[in-house]
Every structure is written in C-alpha cells, then in structure tokens.
Amino acid sequence: MAATALPIPVRHRGNTGGANGYLSAVDDRLGSIHLRAGRAWVAHTIGATDTGAAGNTRNGIRWYEVGALDTTPAVIQSGTLVVMSEFGRKAQENGSQGTDHGHGNVMFVLGGSTAGGQVMTQWPGMSTQQLYQGQDLQVTIDYRDILSEIVSRRLGNAKLDVVFPGYTPTFRGAVV
C-alpha cells in the first residue's frame, strides 16, 4: 500500500463549535469497507500533494481492492473512481415532476491521483437565456475531456482517437 498522510482539517463555515470549529476529516484509517466475493473494497481519506503522494496540500480519497482476507491480506489494486450519469438535468420540473431528461450534468472524480478539492466548470447561470434551449442546464465541459485525461494518465493509453473517435479532448487538470 502506498504511503499516506493524515487528512487536512476543514473549517466549519459560520460555525465555531463542533470539533473546535473544524469538520472531522476522520484520520488515516481505512473506512467504508464493502465485502464481496472474498474481497474487501475500501475507501481511504488521506492528505495528499498535487501529485497524489502522501502530503498535506489537499485532501484526497484512495480506494483499494484487498484480497486473501482468510490468510495474509494484500492490496490487489487501487485507482481512480469516476461517478457520472447519462441523465442531464432540467432547470425546471418536467411533466413527471422531476428534473431528469435534461442536458447538463455533474461528474465526480475521486482517487489519490486526482486534483481534488475543487469544482471545475464555467458556470453560465440559470436565467432562461443562459439555459440550453431555454430549459436545460448547459454542458460546460465535455465528459470526454475528463475521461480522456484518465485514460491517458491513469491507464497509460495515448490512443485517445481510438477511444473517442472524431473527438479531440482538452485536458482540464482533473488527474495529476
């Protein structure tokens, strides 16, 4: 398992109570353990540098797959987690009283080698003239930009023209 560092405490907004005015970043313990097929999938909150190494410039999350739980546990793999949806969002309620089936969306990228602690966007606003077709959130960053960066930097695959034919990605600095 790679070296780790304690997470950085984060201040409460407008609150001096709680844990001395700080949100609990837990500590350097493994957490959120899920067991499946004799293996453990574990999330780990850590302090990290901009390269993903142990340090204290930002907080990050690593995940691990741990095997051989009945003998000597060993890390099988660790990596970057991407959470996204194919459903965009409408700015207003739709006919079924939801906001699904729109255009713009959100994506989360988690892992030790991600440039965490930030929101990446060019927020256009929510007025009718700023919405896509006057009703949906705008797409401000193409999901293929973020996935291309992960495929290139984390998987070592430089053939992005094969992965995303006809698309030229712009790396956004999501992965270090």
Nearest one of 29, 50, 55 to 117, comparing CA atoms: 50
- Residues 111-130: pLDDT tens digits? 767 777 788 888 888 899 99
Residue 159's pLDDT is what?
93
| 165 pLDDT higher than 90 | yes
**pLDDT band of 146, cuts 50, 70, 90:** very high
Q: pTM for this one?
A: 0.59
Give the Cα separation of 27 and 7 in Å (integer): 6
Residue 2's pLDDT is what?
59
What residues have CB less than 8 Å from 88, skipping those under 6 apart?
100, 101, 102, 103, 104, 105, 136, 137, 139
**pLDDT band of 170, cuts 50, 70, 90:** very high
- Residues 86-95: pLDDT tens digits? 777 778 887 7
For the ranges 22-26, 107-111, 152-156, which has the lowest average pLDDT?
A: 22-26
Residue with tokens 């390269």: 51
| 167 pLDDT higher than 90 | yes
| 30 pLDDT higher than 90 | no
Residue with tokens 């970043």: 25
Mean pLDDT over the full length of the chain: 77
Residue 81's pLDDT is what?
77
Give the Cα separation of 91 and 47 in Å (integer): 36
* Distance of alpha carbon 3 from the chain centroid: 21
| 70 pLDDT higher than 90 | no
pLDDT mean over 31-40: 79
Contact criterion met (CB below 8 Å) for 9 and 59: no
**pLDDT band of 162, cuts 50, 70, 90:** very high
